[in-house]
Structure 1
């Protein structure tokens, strides 16, 4: 995977960003996060949460990610399986 799509979150850091528009009826597009950490223990300490904000016909998917590990982690945001 190309490193241009990786975002670093430092230890104890957080990240919040709109992923993009979202259709509640079709449930598309599909957004996902890939976490790259020093080990599985650090990876499991990354909290990935999302919410949908907006009004009828104009919804936005929002990512909220917190790194609770003692190591920095890298994340890759994906839309329909393609790195953003």
Structure 2
């Protein structure tokens, strides 16, 4: 659904208000050359993480190397996460 990514992402976050949103294999959002939908979703996550700070927690998980690339996919993404856990 072209143009719906940010809206659908915001709706997903609204469901997580007061709780936790967990995204496993989050790197799949940004893998690949032409992944505009994933990039739009990440941009929406960043905006909501700023606008709704303290109202929900976002946990992203995946293989270490892939997640490092994911966090580099947008200049503002990595700084939105207070903690990183490797295991």
Question: Do these two structures clear the TM 0.5 threshold for a shared fold by scoring above it?
Answer: no
Of structures 1 and 2, the one scoring higher in RCO (CA 8 A, sep 6+) is 1
- TM (norm. structure 1) is 0.30
Superposition TM-score, scaled by structure 2 size: 0.30
Task: Determine which structure has the larger strand proportion and give its number.
Answer: 1
